Structure 1
Amino acid sequence: MKAKLKYPIFWSSPNDNRIYVFWKEKENKTTKLDMLKEANGWKGDMIIDATETKYIVKCSYMTKWKGIHGFTGMIYYEQEYEDNPESFSLQQLQDRIAERYPKTRWFREEGWGSRDDFRRTVYACKTFEELAGLFRHPPETLRTRIIKWLHPTRKELKMRIGTVLFLILYLLVCYLIFEYNISN
């Protein structure tokens, strides 16, 4: 069965505690071909849309290539759902999120101090949109991007140093080649 989902949607896998939130259809319709194969088409995953309807993914399949034909490995895909969608209330979703999400590694990374604060915040939400808003990251301002650039992580610093060294060596080789050609 195909269905037209009302966004935002909550996506949950039975073997993963993370809850994914998609705000637009285009966010949920592209992936890498390898991920689609690895996840076995996300068979058995649960999707809850804003109309309080729970869909179980039956299969996912590629519809067409995205970008340069197959070069990037990105594809568009569609999903089919089991024939019996069920009602899934906001309270059930809040219970599921409050139980499963604090077990993920992202819980602390996203700035939640304690499980009790998180549960209170989740249960205070009155609509699906408000609950989905908890998982939406605010866009970075110019100031935060500048601060982030001035204080790179160790990996970013290594990458920057490597790039600078490569450019210096490249320019040195070019100089030596052209200097040699001009003098001859």
Structure 2
Amino acid sequence: MKATLKYPIFQFSPDENMVYTFWKENKTTQLALLKKCKGWKGDIVIDSTGTKYTVRCSYMTGWKGIHGFTGMRTGMISYETEYEDNPEPFSLRQLQERIAERHPKTQWFREECWDSVDDFRQTILACKSFEELAETMMPRRKFTVLERIQDYFYMMLFSVFGVMLLYIIWRLIKKAWLWIVG
């Protein structure tokens, strides 16, 4: 069954502790990851309406870029996900309890700057909506206009330096070739 999910969504495997939060639809992944996870079969997806979907399978629909090569990454694909035919309601409280119980057991818990497990549990259980819970789990990065201008400036600056470096290397190779040939 194809489903239209209302974002943000939460995805987790029934036998693992990590709960992943997604703010928008992304139908791109690496082929190796899709194979390693066996198409995320059996994973549970909960959207912000409180509906629980179980993943039947995810499958490749096409390559991204030039046969999966997109800049620095290789093996990038587009994929589709099919869900089981019987979506169930899943309350916010159930999701909060699952996150409060399992997430502190992950290796990333301390890296996310939570000082204590009790503080984390209180914060998670105090959330009033799926959106607030998603914001607590993974804050949405919002760029200001100034930050975007700075990013574009730095990208252009590094591009210019890269072109200059390539030009210098080309000149050195040309001089070395002329010296060798002679």
User: Above 0.5 in TM-score?
Assistant: yes
Residue of 31, 40, 44 corresponding to 2:29: 31
**Which position in structure 2 is the counterpart of 1:52?**
50
Residue 62 of structure 2 aligns to a residue whose secondary structure is strand
Q: CA deviation at 1:134?
A: 1.1
Tell me which residue corresponds to 1:180. 179
Q: 1:100 to 1:140 in 2, by over 3 A?
A: farther
TM-score by length of 2: 0.77
Q: Which residue of 2 aligns with 1:148?
A: none
Where in structure 2 are the equivalents of 1:78-157 lying within 5 Å? 78-137=80-139, 138=141
Q: Report deviation, 1:178.
A: 5.4
Overall identity of the aligned pairs, in %: 62
Please give the root-mean-square deviation of Cα atoms over the aligned residues, in Å. Answer: 2.9
1:66 aligns to what? 64
- Corresponding letter in the other structure for 2:8: P
Scaled by the length of structure 1, what TM-score is found? 0.76
CA offset at residue 179 of structure 1? 7.3
The residue aligned with 2:11 is: 11
Give a deviation string over 1:126-160, Cα, whole Å, max 9, x none: 00000000122446997xxxxxxxxxxxxxxxxxx
Q: 1:117 aligns to what SS in structure 2? A: helix
Residue in 1 that maps onto 2:154: none
Write the distance in 1 (CA, Å) between the matches of 2:83 and 2:23: 19
Which residue pairs with 1:151 in the alignment?
none
Question: Quick check: which one's helix share is greater?
Answer: 1
Instruction: Name 1:22's counterpart in structure 2.
Output: 22
**Count of paired positions:** 160
For structure 1, the residue ranges without an aligned partner over 5 or more in a row are 143-166
